[in-house]
Amino acid sequence: MKQLSDLREDVQGWQSLQRRAQDTLELAQLDDESLRPDLEKEITAIEQELDTRELQALLSGPYDRGNALLSINAGAGGTDSQDWAAILERMYLRWAERSGYAAEVLDRTEGEEAGIKSVTIAINGSNAYGYLRPEKGVHRLVRLSPFDSAHRRHTSFAQVEVLPEVNSDDDTIQVSPDEVRIDIFKSSGAGGQNVQKNATAIRLTHLPTGIVVTCQNERSQMQNRENAMRVLKARLLEIQREEQEKQMSELRGEYKKAEWGNQIRSYVLHPYQMVKDHRTEHEVGNTQAVLDGEIDSFIESYLRSTLTE
In this structure, are 35 and 105 located in the same domain? no
In this structure, are 43 and 113 located in the same domain? no
In this structure, are 224 and 261 located in the same domain? yes
Residues 18 and 14: their CA atoms lie apart, in Å, by 6
Q: Which of 1-10, 152-161, 248-257 has the lowest mean pLDDT?
A: 248-257
pLDDT of amino acid 169: 64
Let me know how long the chain is.
Answer: 309
Residues 92 and 81: their CA atoms lie apart, in Å, by 16
Name which of 272, 270, 265, 273 is nearest 301 in CA terms: 265
Half-sphere exposure of residue 47, counting CA atoms within 13 Å on the CB side? 6
Read off the pLDDT of residues 167-202 as tens digits, 9 standing for 90 and up.
766 667 888 889 999 999 887 655 444 445 567 899
In this structure, are 288 and 273 located in the same domain? yes
In this structure, are 93 and 200 located in the same domain? yes
**What integer is the mean pLDDT of 105-116?**
91
pLDDT of amino acid 247: 74
Residue 203 makes CB contacts below 8 A (sequence gap 6+) with 182, 183, 184, 185, 212, 213, 214, 228
Q: Pairing between strand 283-284 and 68-74?
A: unpaired
In this structure, are 35 and 113 located in the same domain? no
Residue 92 sits in a domain whose CATH number is 3.30.70.1660
In this structure, are 85 and 210 located in the same domain? yes
In this structure, are 28 and 141 located in the same domain? no
Read off the pLDDT of residues 43-88 as tens digits, 9 standing for 90 and up.
999 998 998 888 888 887 888 989 999 999 998 778 999 999 999 9
Residues 51 and 253: their CA atoms lie apart, in Å, by 35
Among 20, 41, 57, residue at a domain's last position = 57
Read off the pLDDT of residues 205-234 as tens digits, 9 standing for 90 and up.
999 999 999 998 777 888 899 999 999 999
In this structure, are 99 and 186 located in the same domain? yes
Among 57, 84, 100, residue at a domain's last position = 57
Average pLDDT, the chain: 87
pLDDT of amino acid 191: 46
**pTM confidence score:** 0.80
pLDDT of amino acid 256: 47
In this structure, are 35 and 74 located in the same domain? no
Cβ–Cβ < 8 Å for 188, 199: no
In this structure, are 68 and 50 located in the same domain? no
With bands split at pLDDT 50, 70 and 90, how would you rate the model's confidence at 9?
A: confident
Structural domain including 183 reads: 64-309
Classified as helix, coil or strand, 136 is: coil
Q: Summarize the chain as % helix, strand, coil (round to 5).
A: 45, 25, 30
Q: How many domains does the chain have?
A: 2
The order of strands in the sheet holding 180-185 is 180-185, 201-206, 211-215
In this structure, are 39 and 152 located in the same domain? no
